Structure 1
Amino acid sequence: MADGWTDRCRRTLINFLVYCPKETIFLKLVDASHVSKTVDALFKLLRDVVLFVGHENVVHVVTDNTANYVVARRLLESEFSRLYWSPCAVHCVNLMFQDIGKLEEVSETVSQASMITKYIYNHCHPLYLMRKFTGGREILRPAPTQFATNYIALQMKIVAMGFLYQAIYKVREEMVKRFQKRKRVVDSYLKILDTRWDSQLRKNLHVAGYWLNLAFRFNAEEFEKHKQTTSDLLDVIERYAYGDADLNSKLTSEMRIFKNAEQDFGR
Structure 2
Amino acid sequence: MVVASLKFLTEMESASVPSHEHSSTTWSNANSSSVRAKCDPAWDHLTEELKNGKCSYRYIHCGKVYEGKGINRMKGHLAGIKGDVVACTASYDPGYRGRNYHALRAPLLREAKREVQLIVDSHRSYWADTGCTIMANGWIDTRHRTLINFLVYCPKGIIFIRSFDASDLVKNAINLSNLFDEIVDWVGPANIVHLVTDNAANYVAVGRILCGKYRNISWSPCADYCLNLILKEIGKMDHVNKLAKCASKITVFIYNHVALQAWLRTRKNWTEIVRLGPIRFATTFISLGSLKEHKHDLQALVTSKFYVESRYVKDKKAKAVVKIILDNQFWNDCHVILHIVSPLIRLLRIVDSDEKPAMGYVYDGMYKAIDGIKKNFKDKKRLREPYVNIIKDRWDT
Any idea what SS the aligned residue of 2:277 has?
coil
Q: 1:82 to 1:68 in 2, by over 3 A?
A: same
SS of residue in 2 equivalent to 1:5: strand
Change in 2 beyond 3 A, CA 1:185/1:58: same
TM-score, length of structure 2 as denominator length: 0.46
Using the alignment, how far apart are the partners of 1:54 and 1:10 within structure 2?
32
**1:186-201 pair list within 5 angstroms:** 186-198=384-396, 200=397
Return the index of the structure with the highest Cα Rg: 2
| Greater RCO, 1 or 2 (C-alpha within 8 Å, sep 6+) | 1
Deviations 1:50-103 (A, max 9, x none): 222222221111112223222222222222111111221222222222221222
How far, CA to CA, are the matches of 2:170 and 2:192 in structure 1? 22
Identity across aligned pairs (percent)? 40
For residues 160-205 of structure 1, the C-alpha deviation after alignment (integer angstroms, 9 at most, x for no partner) is 242111111111111222222655322321222223233x1xxxxx
Aligned to 1:252: none
Match of 2:208 in 1: 74
Aligned to 1:179: 377
Give the drift of 1:109.
Answer: 0.9
Question: Relative to structure 1, is the Cα distance of residues 179 and 39 closer, same or farther in structure 2, using a 3 angstrom cutoff?
Answer: closer
Per the alignment, residue 142 of structure 1 pairs with: 277
Tell me, yes or no, if the aligned pair for 1:131 and 1:138 is still in contact at 8 Å: no
Shift of 1:112: 0.8
CA distance in 1, matches of 2:198, 2:251: 33
Q: In the superposition, relative to structure 1, how do residues 11 and 105 fare at CA in structure 2: closer, same or farther (>3 Å)?
A: same
Task: Evaluate the alpha carbon distance shift between residue 131 and residue 183 of structure 1 in structure 2; reply closer, same or farther with a 3 A threshold.
Answer: farther
Structure 1 residue aligned with 2:157: 23
- The gaps in structure 2 that reach 5 residues or longer are 1-134, 290-337, 352-357
Counterparts of 2:259 and 2:219 in 1: how far apart (Å)?
A: 53
Q: How far apart, CA to CA, are the structure 2 residues paired with 1:86 and 1:130?
A: 47
Q: C-alpha root-mean-square deviation of aligned residues, in Å?
A: 2.2
**In structure 2, C-alpha distance between the alignment counterparts of 1:48 and 1:165, rounded to whole Å:** 31
1:44 corresponds in structure 2 to 178
1:78-89 matches, within 5 Å, as: 78-89=212-223
User: What is the TM-score of this pair, normalised by structure 1?
Assistant: 0.66
Q: Count how many residue pairs are aligned between Structure 1 and Structure 2.
A: 198
Cα 1:65–1:183 shift into 2, 3 Å: closer
Map 1:1-267; keep pairs closer than 5 Å: 1-35=135-169, 37-130=171-264, 133=267, 137-143=272-278, 145-155=279-289, 156=338, 157=342, 158-160=345-347, 161=351, 162=358, 163-180=361-378, 182-198=380-396, 200=397
Q: 1:200-240: CA deviations, max 9, x gaps?
A: 1xxxxxxxxxxxxxxxxxxxxxxxxxxxxxxxxxxxxxxxx
